[in-house]
Structures are given as C-alpha cells and as structure tokens.
Amino acid sequence: MRKELGLYGIIVLTVIIGFTMVGCDGNPQAQASLNGTWLHACDTLVIIGSNFTILCHEINMIKGTLSYTGVTSGNVTVIVADVWDLPSTSWIPFPSSTNGTWSLSGNTLTLGGLGDPSFNGNWIKQ
C-alpha cells in the first residue's frame, strides 16, 4: 500500500510539472505586473490584479477588468463593467469591451488603440 501511494505521488507530481511546462510553453519569463497607481492628465488608473478603476479628480468614474499578453508589451483587453453616474451618485452598469496594445518602459505604461480615448496615452506610475 505504501509503495502504491508513493508511486501515485510521483505520477501526480510528474503530471503537474508537465502541465506547468505546457501552460507556459517552457518559457520561464514572467508577465510584467501592471499593478499599482498610474497617472495621466487628471486621471488616475488603479490596477489590482485583473481589476481596474479610473478616477478623475479623485472621483471613481469607471471600473472593470483587464487582461493582457506579453512581458513588456502586447495586446490588452479592457472590459468596462460600471460607470459612476454623478446625478444619481451611484454606479450604473455599462458593459463594454475594447482591445488595444500596451507597452511598459521603466515607470511609463503606454496604452493605445483602445476605443475609449480616456484609456489611451502614457500613464506614469505613482
């Protein structure tokens, strides 16, 4: 029984390592982290994991999720979930999606080709 459990353990470990290598194509490079606070004109972009919020003059205005490919540049997909409605002072659903490109050089994040112009341009890490 003990030998069988040891054998199963080795098989499971081998499968996990194999899937890990296939999942990252054998390329150990990590994806750049865009986490943090980024400034652009009067706007502030806060990214935590795959979630983002855009603030204008310190008021939450847009929130949603993003995903991106690449190590220091690549494609980005931004999915807006809600926008802040000033008259009612509440979040309202505003589902929309846009695709573009991103690049990271030092403390500058450049977003381009996104349908909403408030996203495009150079964002400086705070």
Predicted confidence (pLDDT) per residue in 34-93, tens digit: 999 999 988 999 999 999 999 988 888 999 999 999 999 999 999 999 999 988 889 999
Contacts of 34 (CB under 8 A, 6+ apart): 47, 66, 68, 102, 104, 109
pLDDT at 24 over 70: no
Q: Note whether 41 and 85 are same-domain residues.
A: yes
On whether both 42 and 5 belong to a single domain, the answer is no
Residue 30 pLDDT grade (very low, low, confident, very high; cuts 50, 70, 90): low
Q: Is the pLDDT score of 20 beyond 50?
A: no
Q: Which pLDDT score is estimated for 55?
A: 92
Contact 74, 101 (CB under 8 A): yes
Q: Looking at the structure, do residues 100 and 64 belong to the same domain, yes or no?
A: yes
How many angstroms separate the CA atoms of 73 and 31, rounded?
A: 9
Name the pLDDT band for 29 (thresholds 50, 70, 90). Answer: low
68 and 53 together in one domain: yes
Q: Are residues 19 and 79 in the same domain?
A: no
19 is in which domain, residue-wise? 1-29
pLDDT of 31: 65
Q: Which of 15-29, 41-55, 102-116 has the lowest mean pLDDT?
A: 15-29
> Do β-strands 59-68 and 51-56 pair in parallel, antiparallel, or remain unpaired?
antiparallel
Rounded to whole angstroms, the Cα distance separating 84 from 86 reads 6
Q: Region 20-35: what's the mean pLDDT?
A: 57
Q: What percent of the chain has pLDDT over 70?
A: 75
Confirm if 99 and 61 have CB atoms less than 8 A apart. no
